[in-house]
A and B are shown apart, each in its own frame.
Chain A
């Protein structure tokens, strides 16, 4: 081979190299970023039969539910019905669960669930309960993490847009809720233009019983009519305080996108709740009339009850000095996150060019030295320079939320520039950044808002997915992205679709929850008023137009399964008790023509389906959950006769 030809060959080989380099360095439009190979698949691969390392609890946003995922696999395990009815298992349709969704506005079948929050002990998630807020009709729900079911919902009066909720204090003494939309307090018919005079915000403090988890609206703080957006409680040295961001200090009531974006700084409200407790003890509260519902599901009676409450204790800042301060914070702050040490309070100024970080110790000093700019309605506004610890420069555009890895780093989601920015606490320098696909809202690190984060992964919760998955028409899923943060550089591992619109999510090591998970409801503890504990007790009772069927479900039959003597106009209650005491053997129940959802009955549980037959005939019912080899045989008939017919009420099983 001549030298010339050799050179030519080399030059020709160089062409594809140059082309490849051009793609790499300039980026190829239309080419999506994917993971960079290596052992990434292995790191998220949870082999069949193996368990995930973490449980992830994702809010459903507009689905009103909470979803349970495994991390790192991204596998979906359960949808927990919370604020929305769930025809799949009868939640919100059965007389047992309907009271959970009662409010002062009547029964509401839907809400917008934003922030799941795990209960904490000593500032660390303890795996007992999960709280989640309803944004639209202000409520807080509690989920029992042994049954993964909603067991309590408390309405918050005088509030609107319960967004800054339900963040917990260090030992779950309180969970909070604050109004994102200030409204007249108490509600009244006034011109909207009277906003500045009539509209107020409230900060709700809901006490949680340390044994039962029961919630009680302990007190409200009446605050100026700004938009209270997010919150986080102090921890360690700042235990005893809760921080709420607010925007719209302009008090605009129309075209907020412009009118509420005018001021250079809005606020973080710092509330000393221990001080508030003192004022409560001293009786410095106003007992105001209010209407709100407290709904509790009894896991032994398998039934929820609603209580209508009519009074609330309200504290007014001007009468309670030292209870609340405003920390000036740039440009309509969104998230407020307290670092694991409890010293730094990080604000996500969504329109700001920096991430401001306040210092708790400097705040205390400023309060002591009365370094106030001004006082608004009895609330001292501290000087920005006196409370600020530092500003993260050039973090990215639209910083929203920050979580911590427990190793001295903070991770902030930036919605506009669609990335996660990693920066160092104390030096405030950005050390790494990774793009997200696309437009990240919240982010989660297991325990990332607690005193002891398990800083192995960060999950980005993205609002827009566009070209990330196979297209499904105009409506697309939202997505989560799992990113490894165990090393110096963040590394994208996995992309998985999520249900509804997860706003916030939290995760906890599986080993904490797994051992608490219930397998069945003990039958001997079932105190449902219509329980049928043995097959022999199965029966049908008529009380006027009401017919109560005490039915049992047991592999693979219902008892009774032949019922005659029902008449058009009757209201038939099928109280079905699942007599199984075996894990993962639910039975379902549905009857032809019922204008309601089916019921899924867990082992040891009783649920009721209400049926009002409209036409004479014979109606089959059957088990809807494939329970056993003879599941297809698990069925029965109800004979419906015209009103006034003389067909006697009879029932039975197995006697032909």
Chain B
């Protein structure tokens, strides 16, 4: 791989590392009574922000309290993120574009699975409501948007990636793009993407 590509891969590994130590996602709720907004942050390992306050407000609509211990994901996510970060660096150090492409595919897979899982949780919290809740609005569910904003009674819910999430996305787009680009380049030079031999600048065999 080109040196530039290898640097991008190392940077991607670091970006995934940032995803480990900063929040991946942020949910903000705004209402007339909360002009300053109420925030919840989702990290790879935990939740932070005003979770108790959100639970307090949610009990009126019968939403299950959001509790960290209910999410097995927090045990898995750091390993997935950390592993992918290490893999990116390993691919760069060993200079193997096959490995880089594998990494990119795995990262894409993890992102898709992660977002799907996030959607599933949102659906469950938003629809699985206590029938004895004090506030019942016929036909109303309270699923937060996967990404974007949505009006839920007096609250506007905003759901967007936070620093770690943006870093992971950047790793996926830039690092993944470079890995795929390297493979396409190799194909053009009629080399296997999974060529084990280190790439040299030898003239192409005719």
Q: Enumerate chain A interface residues (CB-CB to B < 8 A).
A: 554-556, 580-582, 629-630, 633
Q: Which residues of A contact B53 (CB under 8 A)?
A: 580-582
Q: How large is the interface on B (under 10, 10 to 19, 20 to 34, 35 or more residues)?
A: under 10
Can you show 8 pairs from A to B with CB atoms below 8 A apart?
Answer: A556-B134, A580-B53, A581-B50, A581-B53, A629-B60, A629-B135, A630-B60, A630-B134
Complex Cα–Cα for A582 and B57 (A):
11
Complex Cα–Cα for A556 and B52 (A):
14
Extra A-B contacts (11), CB below 8 Å, given A581-B52, A582-B53, A633-B134: A554-B56, A555-B56, A555-B57, A555-B60, A556-B134, A580-B56, A581-B50, A582-B50, A629-B60, A629-B135, A630-B60
User: Which residue in chain A gives the minimum CB-CB distance to B59?
Assistant: A555
User: Which residue in chain A gives the minimum CB-CB distance to B36?
Assistant: A583
Complex Cα–Cα for A353 and B52 (A):
67
Contact with A along B103-141 (1 / 0, CB 8 A): 000000000000000000000000000000011000000
Complex Cα–Cα for A311 and B56 (A):
52
Complex Cα–Cα for A554 and B57 (A):
10
Q: Which residues of A contact B135 (CB under 8 A)?
A: 629
Q: Enumerate chain B interface residues (CB-CB to A < 8 A).
A: 50, 52-53, 56-57, 60, 134-135
User: Which residue in chain B gives the minimum CB-CB distance to A523?
Assistant: B52
Main SS class of interface, A = loop
Complex Cα–Cα for A580 and B50 (A):
11
Complex Cα–Cα for A57 and B60 (A):
40
Q: Find the residue from B53, B56, B60, B135 having the highest chain A CB count within 10 A.
A: B56
B142: shortest Cβ distance to chain A, in Å? 16
Q: Which residues of A contact B60 (CB under 8 A)?
A: 555, 629-630
The answer to whether A582 and B134 touch across the interface, beta carbons within 8 angstroms, is: no
Q: Which residues of B contact A630 (CB under 8 A)?
A: 60, 134
Q: Which residues of A contact B56 (CB under 8 A)?
A: 554-555, 580, 582
Complex Cα–Cα for A581 and B134 (A):
22
Q: Which residues of B contact A555 (CB under 8 A)?
A: 56-57, 60
Q: Which residues of B contact A581 (CB under 8 A)?
A: 50, 52-53
Complex Cα–Cα for A581 and B56 (A):
10
User: Which residue in chain B gives the minimum CB-CB distance to A555?
Assistant: B56
Complex Cα–Cα for A633 and B52 (A):
21
Q: Which residues of B contact A580 (CB under 8 A)?
A: 53, 56
Complex Cα–Cα for A282 and B158 (A):
69
Q: Which residues of B contact A556 (CB under 8 A)?
A: 134
A212: shortest Cβ distance to chain B, in Å? 30
Complex Cα–Cα for A630 and B56 (A):
13
User: Which residue in chain B gives the minimum CB-CB distance to A654?
Assistant: B132
Q: Across chains A and B, which 5 residue pairs bring their CB atoms closest together, nearest first?
A: A582-B53, A630-B134, A555-B56, A581-B52, A581-B53
Q: Which residues of A contact B57 (CB under 8 A)?
A: 555
Complex Cα–Cα for A630 and B135 (A):
10
A80: shortest Cβ distance to chain B, in Å? 25
Q: Find the residue from B50, B52, B57 having the highest chain A CB count within 10 A.
A: B52
A268: shortest Cβ distance to chain B, in Å? 51
B34: shortest Cβ distance to chain A, in Å? 9
Complex Cα–Cα for A115 and B50 (A):
41
User: Which residue in chain A gives the minimum CB-CB distance to B132?
Assistant: A654
Q: Which residues of A contact B134 (CB under 8 A)?
A: 556, 630, 633
Complex Cα–Cα for A633 and B50 (A):
25
User: Which residue in chain B gives the minimum CB-CB distance to A554?
Assistant: B56
Complex Cα–Cα for A630 and B53 (A):
16
User: Which residue in chain B gives the minimum CB-CB distance to A584?
Assistant: B33
